[in-house]
Structure 1
Amino acid sequence: MAKPLPHQAPDVLAPAELGPLTLRNRIIKAATFEGCTPDALVTDELIEYHRRPAAGGVGMTTVAYCAVAPEGRTERGQIWMRPEAIPGLRRLTDAVHAEGAAVSAQMGHAGPVADAKSTGLPALAPGRLFNPLSMRMTRPATPHDIDRVTRAHAEAARIAVESGFDAVEIHFGHNYLASSFLSPKINRRKDDYGGSLDHRARVAWGIARAVRDEVGDRIAITAKLNMKDGVRGGFGIEESIQVARRLQDDGSVDALQLTAGSSLLNPMYLFRGDAPVKEFAAQFPQPQRLGIRLAGKQVLRAYPYREAYLLEFAQRFRAALDLPLILLGGITHRETMDLAMAEGFQFVAMARALLREPDLIARITAAPDTASQCTHCNLCMPTIYTGTHCPLVP
């Protein structure tokens, strides 16, 4: 059973420990693909993207997305962790540290979400699947592939340490590779990586263990774990809690960031709010553009937005686990942050609100009743192809 909640909730703006790391506050800039690394290497634009929220008061910002292998990118412009990337990554971490914040590298393998047309490499998955954006079929991952990708996570974590990162976030969500293996809807394998939860979770558990064995306590390790996929027959809360408990008991991670949804099958389940179908379609050539316009509302299903919309799911994890948890989803105001602390969560993660106002945390610190200007229109989402930003900012 989980420990009882403390009598007094911690101050979200006070320093806090995350594994071996001390953050200046409990607010994390969540990973959002920046769309500004055309050569899969750090650019001045990427550095500025993360320097701004660091200067604006967050405890830690998260670089996304650092693929562990070239075929693990969702598209060819994403950083993949290799020696050539270290000098640029070091410039980035130095810039964030100069503003007083910590910095994490979100790393993982996109699996069936990878755009094989863009990367020029086959996308891996538990079995053969069709990716409508790349118009390509995935290749079933062999045990050799799984071993290679597992080792690549450990190597990527070592590169993160060399590059000056304070933490890594392992991506076990959104039906990326490890998450797709967890999903009984996607994973129909009959071997040791399919069937029972213990088999389907082998990829995630093995990756987490390999990363911990590689870096020890030199940096903090978190994992972004789907609570549920948001699709019928997909990965759900009860199984996710079992996966989380194993990660906790194994000592592989210092905290979990709880997420939901499938980038492959139901992406708006995570984001909530408006679904910008027309704007997404405009980013693609024909025939994908027409297909997105016609079928976009079935894929990009809109869900109503409300503050802390993942809290109800996350409370079940809080009741079952002792491990520090990071609450994500619709956190834009100080009162929501205080609610998360009162519910026993150790950290909160924010994304869209900080795209609109990178200095939001500094403003909340100065005036707790500060209202976020983010309207949750989600027009920022299609900008990932041209440099992620809030299009409502002049």
Structure 2
Amino acid sequence: MTTSPAPQTDPFSTATLGPLSLRNRIIKCATFEGMTPDAVVTDDLIEFHRDVAAGGAAMSTVAYCAVSPEGRTDRHQIWMRPEALDGLQRLTAAIHGEGALAAAQLGHAGPVANSLSNRLPALGPGRIPAPMGMSFTQKVSRDRIGDLVQKFRTAARLAVDSGFDGLEIHLGHNYLLSSFLSPLLNHRRDGYGGSAVNRARFAREVLEAVRTEVGDDAAVWIKLNMFDGVGKPGRGRGGMPWSGTNLDDAITYARLFEADGHIDAIEPTAGSSLLNPMYLFHGEPPRDEFADAMPGAIRTGMKAGGKYFLRRYPYTDTYLLPLARELRASVGLPMILLGGVTDRASIQSALDSGFDFVAMGRALLREPDLPLRLQADPAARSKCVHCNLCMPTIYSTTRCPIRTGEVPDPLDVA
């Protein structure tokens, strides 16, 4: 007796994420837009996300909505306070006007913060380097942890009051909560360090506070590191003290978060803004362009050591899928695949592997209307060439330099 293969999930079918119904399976992931010089919404930011929503994505995520002023990577990012409310409401209204939903990424940069720019100390689980501010972090006290949990809760309320439908809590890239999760960065000897359960305590308290505050008024999910890019990406650190978060750790954390019942989904990610950023951004490392975008001494350091900090990882479609599949098999929560999603085949591969949604970043910088193109023509492909020249533009206005004509398009045929 033969059995018919299971029908494939249509990438453009409606789908449920917590209390939300999305018009398709494509989410614009959080990528800093570089359009908030005064730490509040601008017309440019509104138009950026309006274009994404009009281009067919089901949800557009506003990046780096910091929960406190020292929690920004630099002072040109939104931090959640009453003064930001009016602009955020205009932003969500613009996204909703194009038929999409709006999400806010809530986070605290921790050791990734530029303390010189913020004019406030960077924070961490202990005293560790905070290279963007050429300083060291200030160790977060137990009392300060409670204060920060409350700040996440307040930020979540402000986001929902601003019209956001979804909240992504940033547990990746060695930002503050991720740095507590990392066995390399967290050497605390109290209840927030040591075992994996203790390292996850801060994040669990944040997630409980956020869910208690917003209830079913918003979907809540996490961006969770599977691998910091230090040591080996696979399962088992072998007791090596120099290894960061790896897949075994991520599975442990994901199971804890799932058991707590405060989140609706997980978006697996990888890489460290402190230690190995290119592990997230596979493709060409734009070392010279990054150095040119940096101030003074950091520029000099990047020129000298860029090849060690910005390593090269060859691009392949869905490059995070091998790790993410193992995480997918370990928990029952819905999952969002990030990393190298560029065409209908890569979306279908994710859905066939048990993922419920995909997240696009660089491809939508190149073509905000890519989802509509993929829906109209299943054979269409992104025009993104994975040069990563968009990465250094976060320090001015985030854009694809090929799309704007600043650099030649290698796809053009003379």
Shorter-chain TM-score bucket reads over 0.9
Q: What is residue 244 of structure 1 aligned with on the other side?
A: 254
Which secondary structure state, in structure 2, belongs to the residue aligned with residue 392 of structure 1? coil
Which secondary structure state, in structure 1, belongs to the residue aligned with residue 245 of structure 2? coil
Q: What is residue 91 of structure 1 aligned with on the other side?
A: 90
Q: 1:123-272 alignment to 2 at 5 Å? A: 123-232=122-231, 233-272=243-282
CA drift at 1:136: 1.2
CA drift at 1:95: 0.2
For residues 193-234 of structure 1, the C-alpha deviation after alignment (integer angstroms, 9 at most, x for no partner) is 111011111111111111001101111001100011111210
Distance 1:8 1:123 in 2: 50
Which secondary structure state, in structure 2, belongs to the residue aligned with residue 133 of structure 1? helix
Distance 2:192 2:122 in 1: 18
Partner AA of 2:321 in structure 1: L
Which secondary structure state, in structure 1, belongs to the residue aligned with residue 380 of structure 2? coil
Which secondary structure state, in structure 2, belongs to the residue aligned with residue 320 of structure 1? coil
Distance 1:341 1:291 in 2: 42
Pair 1:7-2:3 in alignment: no
Partner AA of 1:137 in structure 2: F
* Residues 197 and 239 in structure 1, CA contact (< 8 A), matched pair in contact too: yes
CA drift at 1:131: 2.2
Q: What is residue 61 of structure 1 aligned with on the other side?
A: 60
Partner AA of 1:262 in structure 2: S
Q: What is residue 23 of structure 1 aligned with on the other side?
A: 22
Distance 2:137 2:131 in 1: 11
CA drift at 1:9: 3.2
* Residues 125 and 186 in structure 2, CA contact (< 8 A), matched pair in contact too: yes
Q: What is residue 48 of structure 1 aligned with on the other side?
A: 47
Q: 1:248-327 alignment to 2 at 5 Å? A: 248-327=258-337
Partner AA of 1:92 in structure 2: L
Distance 1:310 1:209 in 2: 28
CA drift at 1:337: 0.3
CA drift at 1:302: 1.1
For residues 142-183 of structure 1, the C-alpha deviation after alignment (integer angstroms, 9 at most, x for no partner) is 111111111111111100110000010000000000100010
* Residues 30 and 351 in structure 1, CA contact (< 8 A), matched pair in contact too: yes
Distance 1:256 1:150 in 2: 20
Partner AA of 1:194 in structure 2: G
For residues 212-263 of structure 1, the C-alpha deviation after alignment (integer angstroms, 9 at most, x for no partner) is 0110111100110001111121011111111111111211110110100100
Q: What is residue 3 of structure 1 aligned with on the other side?
A: none
Distance 1:90 1:139 in 2: 34
Q: 1:84-123 alignment to 2 at 5 Å? A: 84-123=83-122
For residues 249-304 of structure 1, the C-alpha deviation after alignment (integer angstroms, 9 at most, x for no partner) is 21111011010010011000111111111001111222221110000110111111
Which secondary structure state, in structure 1, belongs to the residue aligned with residue 355 of structure 2? coil
Distance 1:286 1:70 in 2: 24
Pair 1:75-2:68 in alignment: no
Q: What is residue 346 of structure 1 aligned with on the other side?
A: 356
Distance 1:319 1:191 in 2: 32
Which secondary structure state, in structure 1, belongs to the residue aligned with residue 329 of structure 2? helix
Distance 2:7 2:201 in 1: 38
Distance 1:104 1:167 in 2: 4
Distance 2:98 2:308 in 1: 43
| Alignment gaps of 5+ in structure 2 | 232-242, 406-414
* Residues 30 and 61 in structure 1, CA contact (< 8 A), matched pair in contact too: yes
| Alignment gaps of 5+ in structure 1 | 1-5
* Residues 122 and 130 in structure 2, CA contact (< 8 A), matched pair in contact too: no
Distance 2:194 2:345 in 1: 43
Partner AA of 2:58 in structure 1: G
CA drift at 1:313: 0.3
Q: What is residue 373 of structure 2 aligned with on the other side?
A: 363
* Residues 225 and 258 in structure 1, CA contact (< 8 A), matched pair in contact too: yes
Which secondary structure state, in structure 2, belongs to the residue aligned with residue 384 of structure 1? helix
Pair 1:386-2:401 in alignment: no
CA drift at 1:133: 2.4
TM-score by length of 1: 0.97
Distance 2:355 2:381 in 1: 22
* Residues 112 and 131 in structure 2, CA contact (< 8 A), matched pair in contact too: no
* Residues 9 and 344 in structure 1, CA contact (< 8 A), matched pair in contact too: no
Distance 1:312 1:285 in 2: 37
CA drift at 1:7: 3.0
Partner AA of 2:76 in structure 1: G
